Amino acid sequence: MLEGNRVSRISVRGFAVASATAVTTVGAVVGVASGSDKSSSTEPVEAVAADATLLAEIPAGQQAQAQTASLTQQADVQSTAADAEAKKSAEEAARKQAAKDASDKKAAADQAKKEKAEKEAAEKKAAEERAKEKEEAASRSSSRDSLTSTSASSTSFPQRGSYSVADVQAIARQIVPGDQFQCFSNIVNHESTWNYKAVNPSSGAYGLVQALPASKMSSAGADWQTNPATQIKWGLNYMNEAYQSPCGAWSFWQTNHWY
């Protein structure tokens, strides 16, 4: 290590001497050219030689340390720049992720809202259908109750020798529920024109509602052949059982022209 320092100092010293020599030569030439004497050119040469001597006295180890410090400083600058770039990239990635999360959250909220609306609509529709079925069931029950309450063949409607169309229609209005009367009337009008003794010559169907066979009406009363009230009760019960109501029977009749 000492040997290396000595060699370095010699090398530096040699460089300083060479530099001083060069300066002396240049100074001499300049002095001659300007007519100056020798004493005016020796002082700078001696100063340069002194400075070179001081430079040569710096140990080689200290020169290496200075170079290392410079490289370290450069590395620190590069590291700081890299850290800043990494921080910028991380912040950008975080911003993009936050935007994506917000978008996903909104989409999920919109989907949940849509599903809730669809569920509520389905529940509302189901409730309306149940209410409609309940109403229809109540109507059928009312029709059956009406039939039951007037099932006594002669007590509610005492039998007479004959009935006009107006008489038969008046009896029907008392037996058939009000919201079903028009449908019942449409069927009777097409089947018998309100003639309680009407007979189909080809099939044998009989009465206001053209029961076939006619004897089926005996389930409503033994006087089915002569009492329009008995025929009306039987016809109403048949329409309720087969088509849920007289209006259901009328809807079928319009399509098929029979019921």
pLDDT at 167: 94
Residue 138: count of CB within 10 angstroms of its CB: 10
- The conformational region for residue 235 under phi > 0 = left, psi -120 to 50 = alpha, else beta, is alpha
SS3 of residue 194 by DSSP:
coil
Contact 221, 227 (CB under 8 A): yes
Closest among 259, 218, 227, 222 to 242, alpha carbons compared: 259
Identity of the amino acid at 192 = S
Measured distance CA(180)–CA(174) in Å, rounded: 12
Domain ranges of the chain: 2-65, 144-256
Read off φ and ψ for residue 245, nearest 5 degrees.
-175, 165
SS3 of residue 189 by DSSP:
helix
Question: CB-based burial of residue 244 (10 Å sphere; 0-12 exposed, 13-18 middle, 19+ buried)?
Answer: middle
Q: What is the DSSP letter of 204?
A: -
| Residue 211, strand partner residues | 206
- The conformational region for residue 227 under phi > 0 = left, psi -120 to 50 = alpha, else beta, is beta
pLDDT at 183: 97
Measured distance CA(127)–CA(211) in Å, rounded: 38
Read off φ and ψ for residue 199, nearest 5 degrees.
-130, 135
Contact 233, 150 (CB under 8 A): yes
| pLDDT per residue rounded down to tens, the chain (259 residues) | 444 444 444 444 444 444 444 444 444 434 444 444 444 444 554 554 555 555 455 667 777 777 788 888 888 888 888 888 889 889 889 889 999 988 898 899 889 889 998 988 888 888 888 888 777 666 655 555 554 444 444 346 777 889 999 999 999 999 999 999 999 999 999 999 999 999 999 999 999 999 999 999 999 999 999 999 999 999 999 999 999 999 999 999 999 999 9
CA neighbours closer than 13 Å in the CB half-sphere of residue 249? 26
Give, for 232, the enclosing helix (H) or strand (E): helix 228-243
